Chains A and B, each alone.
Chain A
Amino acid sequence: MIAALAMVVGVVLGLVLEPTVPLWLQPYLPIAVVAALDAVFGGVRARLDGIFDSKVFVVSFVSNVVVAALVVFLGDKLGVGGQLSTGVVVVLGIRIFGNAAAIRRHLFRA
């Protein structure tokens, strides 16, 4: 409950405070969002599996976001930013879909 509430508060804060994302950070924002979604879906699935751990969740969330952004940053420097972005999105997308499928099986038994 408190988790959902915190997330809603975060969204509201983000909308109300109108944070201006610095220009140099903007290319990494979509990747960071996908990484965050991956962490969130993983957390929900772990919760449904009964093995949720808040430390694991927070650490995986932060490290996911940072590592994803870092990989893309490195790719940009090497001139393969677009390809690495695609790679990160594919890997995280597969995980998101897998976790979403597991959540679906838990919730609907289907």
Chain B
Amino acid sequence: MSTSLLDDLLSDHLDKGYAEAAARRAERRANGDEPADAPRWGRPLLALGLLLAGFLLAAAYRATATQAPESERIRQALMRDVQQGSATSATLQRQAADLSARLVRERDNALTTSETGDRVGRQVRQLEAAAALVPVRGPGLTILLGDAAPRDQVDPASGDRIAVPPDDNGRLQDRDLQSVVNALWAAGAEAVSINGQRLAPTTTIRAAGEAILVDLFPLSSPYTIAAIGNPDTLLPRFADSAAARRYQSLVGVYGIRFGVHRSTDVQLRAATGTELRYAQPLGGTAPAPAPASEPSDGNTGGEPRPGASPPVPSGGSRPPGGGS
């Protein structure tokens, strides 16, 4: 006990209780007492103790053995859930697009029955095109914007060629897309989409971690920004904008990809998830005769083909043409 704690730890590995018990036994034997009591209940006690020790070892083994696969299982289940969820969302989105295309068709049918309906219908189509609620097509620009290409490097350890992802300077951020899109709007674009995601007036372009979200849909590089507008004015105005000049110079500095092309036919989908939450239309614009003819057209649900919707957008492209 007089030695230091560390000395004790490093030299005395055996529990002191054993030595003391042995000394007691020897003392008792020297006094003539019988040390016979130890074997009588000592054996079952020892067996019980070792039983406990074995049980503990096995329980610990089982706990660790079942724990590892469990976390893996949970990860798999979560991944499955995510995949299922995104598949469901894709189906629902398709369904919503089909239904809204049908709605537009039915409404147009209903509105063409009268003179005022015709006028209101045209107005509605114009407003819808401006609000990105209908697919549109027309001439315009296609802008390709991409992260710097991964560098090809030789792995010093294995000698294999590996692709090194670009560093932060070569990666596009949400504000890059924002400034390009804003430059397009400023240059007179009438409809814009990024990677097929149509930009509505309320659409946001944000960053979440390393992903860029356009209306909560994650997009990844390269980004194709399609814009509809008069190419003869859109192209020079955009090319002259500060954003275009900046990205043109960044191509040489950081290796990002940036290209502007004139397109004769750009097709843009309708924006999803645009709903008015607070604004309410003033009454009086809704034509009364519309509900009367609706049921008769309601049974034309036999053609929910997505291919049937393009005729509608081609009509919707007139407003952009008239606007420029």
Contact = CB atoms under 8 A, between A and B. Distances in A.
Interface string A38-73: 011010011001111111111111100100000000
Contact of B56 (A14, A26, A53, A56): A14
Give the interface residue-count category, chain A: 35 or more
A29 interface: yes
A2 B60 contact: no
Nearest to B20: A56
B59 interface: yes
Contacts of A65: 56
Interface stretch (B43-51, B103-111, B160-168, B260-268): B43-51
A61 B52 contact: yes
A54 B42 contact: yes
Interface residues of B, number: 36
A32 B46 contact: no
B15 A14 contact: no
Q: Which of B17, B20, B50, B54 has the most CB of A within 10 A?
A: B50
A107 interface: no
A56 B19 CA distance: 10
A56 B10 contact: no
B208 interface: no
Nearest to B42: A54
Contact of B15 (A19, A60, A94): A60
Nearest to A60: B15
Interface in A72-95: 91, 94-95
A12 B72 CA distance: 27
Contacts, number: 147
Contacts of A32: 56, 60
Contacts of B64: 29
B51 A55 contact: no
A2 B43 contact: yes
A29 B66 CA distance: 14
Interface in B184-205: none
B58 interface: yes
B296 to A, nearest CB: 64
A85 to B, nearest CB: 15
Contact of A19 (B18, B50, B54, B59): B59
B18 A10 contact: no
Interface in A6-28: 6-15, 18-19, 21, 26
A39 B55 CA distance: 14
Nearest to B12: A98
Contacts of B53: 7, 10, 36, 39-40, 61
B59 A46 contact: no
A68 to B, nearest CB: 12
A6 B54 contact: yes
A36 B56 contact: yes
Contacts of A4: 50
Contacts of B36: none
Nearest to B39: A54
Contact of B51 (A7, A53, A59): A7
User: 9 closest A-B pairs (Cβ-Cβ)?
Assistant: A14-B58, A10-B54, A98-B13, A51-B22, A54-B42, A6-B47, A54-B46, A53-B21, A58-B49
30 contacts: A6-B46, A6-B47, A6-B54, A7-B54, A10-B57, A13-B58, A14-B54, A15-B62, A19-B62, A21-B62, A26-B63, A29-B64, A32-B56, A33-B56, A33-B60, A36-B56, A39-B53, A40-B50, A40-B53, A53-B25, A53-B38, A53-B42, A54-B43, A54-B46, A54-B49, A57-B46, A61-B52, A61-B53, A91-B9, A102-B14
Interface of B: 9-10, 13-15, 17-22, 25, 38, 42-43, 45-64, 67
Given A3-B46, A29-B64, 17 more contacts: A7-B51, A10-B58, A11-B54, A15-B62, A19-B59, A19-B62, A29-B60, A32-B56, A46-B18, A51-B21, A52-B18, A53-B22, A55-B42, A58-B45, A61-B52, A94-B13, A102-B13
